[in-house]
């Protein structure tokens, strides 16, 4: 942190960090269309004291509209155009949800949010979901759930096509940045590459890109989503490098698995039938990158979802018992199997034992019970086990009866994960954040390599941030 602060102060001394003039970002032409526009302020929705057992689906059915929190300043995903209208890929995506769930794209209400306010508005159920380039961060997990990652953002570098292949080739050249996160990313990149660049600030993407095209700067640092859309619209420009990669996902209320299923399975269908690809092409000028989705998505309608939620508090059980009970399929090698002595072994068995070691200080605190895979859902629902393993596939049918951790393996394009009880966000957070810790310190890679030495590691998306800690999640509230 001290190094980061010193870097920020040095950058500030070299060039005063500008205040972004949103008014300067509205104009004509392709670059202006992709730039941020002034936020139109609309009256906020007063928080309602909806009981936590009332489902999101019931609230949507009652009002016959979905209430969507959306950023007004995240082009090309969401922005207010010169005519004062919301537009962007995420705006179109929300309208597509309304059309599929409620029969018309007009059955949606948009509520302005920011990256900072979106989690609280979802948590307080002022909105049913939120989007607009919202990053799946570790800290936000404490307040909301996230749907499938459908895009990646981050800090990137735009250059004139064919002139610079990467960041090191810009040594002693001029690089323009627009805002503070880009300046920090440039500082980190200079330290990593052991080079220096000449930094200059601009107060809008439009001005910075115009400088680049005119030869007044050699590169522009900024948000990857904006720069890739700009590059797609002009063959004279190209992305030279991506400094940071951040997963973008839809924010959803905690402890409402049925609503999350509706969002994720609908998104999967939108991707599978080509609608998402068409939207991405419309707003980014290019097809989307491959996206991990749910295999064999089951048809799911809003009207079929229950009006109430059965809440769970599995973490209290784990805290009190000091163990985690795990159902495992003894015939699911190499993920879980009973060895010659009847003891559990396998890739997922080792993952769970490592979790128990980090939670309780002892891998033996994971207690395994052999179960046929077709009994996993009932055992989780009945509280007989807290987790279930054995190469469980994330299919539409399984999503309707169980929740899942982050994907830990992909087999024939089908994601596999640890099965968990429904409507229990706190337990899923504990499991997922432990996997994030294992990813960060190399524990995950070591276990994967032991069981799959000839395969490339199954990549897990890294969530920015370091809090909350595992210790905080395990501490009594």
Mean pLDDT of 176-191: 95
What is the number of alpha carbons within 13 Å of residue 430 lying toward its C-beta? Answer: 25
Q: Which fold does the domain 56-152+248-304 belong to in CATH?
A: D-Maltodextrin-Binding Protein; domain 2 (3.40.190)
In this prediction, residue 46 carries a pLDDT of: 56
Least confident stretch, 4-8, 281-285, 299-303, 367-371: 4-8
Question: Is the fold of 56-152+248-304 the same as that of 314-474?
Answer: yes
Q: Which of 117, 120, 106, 240 is nearest to 171 (CA)?
A: 240
3-state SS string for 299-349: CCCHHHCCCECCCCCHHHHHHHHCCEEEEECCEECCCEEECCCCCEECHHH
In this prediction, residue 44 carries a pLDDT of: 52
Q: Among the CATH numbers 3.40.190.10, 3.40.50.720, 3.75.10.10, 1.10.3720.10, which is that of 314-474?
A: 3.40.190.10
Mean pLDDT of 14-41: 37
What is the number of alpha carbons within 13 Å of residue 267 lying toward its C-beta? Answer: 22
Residue 73 reports pLDDT greater than 80: yes
pLDDT level of residue 458 (50, 70, 90 thresholds): confident
pLDDT level of residue 27 (50, 70, 90 thresholds): very low
- What are the tens digits of pLDDT across the range 125-159? 999 999 999 999 999 998 999 999 999 999 999 99
Q: Which of 251, 209, 200, 252 is nearest to 230 (CA)?
A: 209
103 Cβ contact partners less than 8 Å away, ≥ 6 residues apart: none
Mean pLDDT of 367-388: 97
Domain extents in the chain: 2-35+155-244, 56-152+248-304, 314-474
In this prediction, residue 253 carries a pLDDT of: 97
Q: Which of 362, 378, 372, 379 is nearest to 325 (CA)?
A: 379
Mean pLDDT of 92-100: 98
3-state SS string for the chain: CHHHHHHHHHHHHHCCCCCCCHHHHCCCCHHHHHCCCCCCCCCCCCCCCCCCCECHHHHHHHHCCEEEEECCEECCCEEECCCCCEECHHHHHHHHHHHHHHCCCCCEEEEECCCCCHHHHHHCCCCCEEECCCECCCHHHHCCEECCCCEEECEEEEEECCCCCCCHHHCCCEEEECCHHHHHHHHHHHHHHCCCCEEEECCCHHHHHHHHHHCCCCEEEEEHHHHHHHHHCCCCEEEEEECCCEEECCEECCCCHHHHHHHHHHHHHHHHCCHHHHHHHHHHCCCCCCCCCCECCCCCCHHHCCCECCCCCHHHHHHHHCCEEEEECCEECCCEEECCCCCEECHHHHHHHHHHHHHHCCHHHEEEEECCHHHHHHHHHCCCCCEEECCCECEHHHHCCCEECCCCEEECCEEECCEECCCCHHHHHHHHHHHHHHHHHCHHHHHHHHHCCCCCCCCCCCCCCCCCCHHHHHCCC
Task: Decide if 210 contacts 236 (C-beta within 8 A).
Answer: no
pLDDT level of residue 34 (50, 70, 90 thresholds): very low
Mean pLDDT of 424-453: 96
Q: Helices 2-14 & 180-193, crossing angle to 10 degrees?
A: 110
- What are the tens digits of pLDDT across the range 109-127? 999 999 999 999 999 999 9
Residue 379 reports pLDDT greater than 70: yes
Mean pLDDT of 151-178: 96
- For 360, other C-beta atoms within 10 Å of its C-beta total 16
- What are the tens digits of pLDDT across the range 386-407? 999 999 999 999 999 999 999 9
Mean pLDDT of 58-63: 96
Determine whether 402 is exposed, middle or buried from the number of CB atoms within 10 Å of its CB (0-12, 13-18, 19+).
buried
What backbone torsions phi and psi does residue 387 show, to the nearest 5 degrees? -145, 160
pLDDT level of residue 20 (50, 70, 90 thresholds): very low
What backbone torsions phi and psi does residue 338 show, to the nearest 5 degrees? -90, 125
Residue 327 reports pLDDT greater than 80: yes
What residues does 129 pair with on adjacent strands? 68
Name the more confident of 324 and 475.
324
Mean pLDDT of 37-53: 56
Bond from prior residue into 210 cis (ω within 30 degrees of 0): no
- What are the tens digits of pLDDT across the range 207-262? 999 999 999 999 999 999 999 999 999 999 999 999 999 999 999 999 999 999 99
What is the number of alpha carbons within 13 Å of residue 323 lying toward its C-beta? Answer: 11
Name the more confident of 33 and 471.
471
Least confident stretch, 15-19, 302-306, 344-348, 360-364: 15-19
Q: Among the CATH numbers 3.40.50.300, 3.40.220.10, 2.60.40.740, 3.40.190.10, which is that of 2-35+155-244?
A: 3.40.190.10
In this prediction, residue 384 carries a pLDDT of: 97
In this prediction, residue 459 carries a pLDDT of: 81
What region does 205 belong to: left with phi over 0, alpha with psi -120 to 50, or beta? alpha
Mean pLDDT of 163-177: 96
In this prediction, residue 167 carries a pLDDT of: 96
Mean pLDDT of 436-464: 93
Name the more confident of 27 and 346.
346
The encoded tokens of residue 216 equal 């007044």
Indicate the average pLDDT of the chain: 90
In this prediction, residue 47 carries a pLDDT of: 57
Task: Decide if 425 contacts 461 (C-beta within 8 A).
Answer: no
pLDDT level of residue 372 (50, 70, 90 thresholds): very high
- Taking the C-alpha atoms of residue 163 and residue 157, their distance in angstroms, rounded to an integer, is 13
Distances (CA, A) of 81 to 115, 256, 299, 364: 20, 34, 35, 58
pLDDT level of residue 8 (50, 70, 90 thresholds): very low
């Amino acid at each position: 942190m001290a190094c980061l602060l010193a870097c920020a102060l040095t950058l500030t001394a070299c060039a005063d960090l500008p205040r972004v003039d949103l008014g300067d970002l509205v104009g004509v032409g392709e670059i202006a269309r992709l730039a941020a526009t002034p936020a139109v302020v609309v009256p906020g929705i007063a928080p309602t004291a909806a009981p936590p057992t009332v489902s999101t689906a019931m609230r949507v059915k009652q009002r016959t509209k979905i209430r969507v929190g959306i950023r007004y300043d995240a082009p090309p995903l969401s922005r207010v155009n010169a005519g004062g209208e919301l537009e962007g890929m995420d705006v179109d995506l929300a309208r597509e949800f309304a059309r599929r769930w409620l029969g018309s794209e007009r059955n949606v209400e948009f509520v302005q949010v920011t990256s900072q306010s979106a989690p609280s508005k979802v948590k307080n159920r002022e909105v049913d979901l939120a989007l607009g380039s919202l990053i799946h961060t570790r800290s936000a997990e404490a307040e909301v759930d996230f749907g499938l990652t459908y895009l990646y953002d981050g800090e990137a570098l735009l250059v004139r096509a064919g002139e610079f292949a990467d960041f090191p080739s810009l040594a002693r050249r001029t690089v323009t940045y627009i805002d503070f996160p880009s300046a920090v990313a440039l500082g980190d990149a200079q330290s990593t590459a052991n080079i220096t660049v000449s930094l200059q600030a601009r107060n809008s993407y439009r001005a910075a890109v115009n400088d680049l095209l005119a030869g007044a700067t050699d590169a522009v640092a900024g948000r990857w989503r904006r720069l890739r859309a700009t590059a797609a619209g002009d063959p004279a420009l190209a992305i030279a490098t991506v400094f940071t990669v951040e997963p973008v996902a839809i924010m959803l209320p905690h402890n409402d698995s049925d609503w999350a299923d509706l969002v994720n399975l609908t998104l999967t269908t939108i991707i599978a039938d080509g609608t998402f690809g068409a939207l991405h092409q419309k707003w980014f000028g290019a097809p989307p990158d491959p996206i991990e989705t749910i295999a064999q998505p089951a048809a799911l309608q809003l009207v079929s979802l229950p009006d109430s939620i059965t809440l769970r508090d599995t973490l209290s059980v784990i805290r009190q018992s000091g163990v985690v009970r795990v159902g495992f399929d003894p015939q699911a090698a190499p993920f879980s199997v009973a060895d010659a002595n009847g003891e559990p072994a396998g890739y997922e068995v080792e993952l769970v034992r490592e979790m128990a070691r980090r939670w309780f200080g002892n891998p033996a605190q994971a207690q395994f019970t052999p179960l046929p895979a077709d009994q996993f859902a009932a055992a989780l629902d009945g509280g007989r086990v807290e987790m279930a393993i054995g190469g469980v596939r994330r299919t539409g049918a399984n999503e309707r009866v169980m929740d899942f951790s982050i994907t830990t393996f992909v087999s024939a394009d089908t994601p596999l994960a640890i099965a968990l009880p429904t409507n229990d966000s706190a337990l899923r957070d504990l499991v997922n954040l432990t996997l994030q810790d294992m990813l960060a310190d190399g524990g995950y890679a070591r276990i994967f390599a032991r069981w799959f030495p000839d395969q490339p590691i199954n990549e897990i998306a890294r969530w920015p941030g370091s809090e909350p800690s595992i210790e905080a999640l395990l501490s009594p509230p």
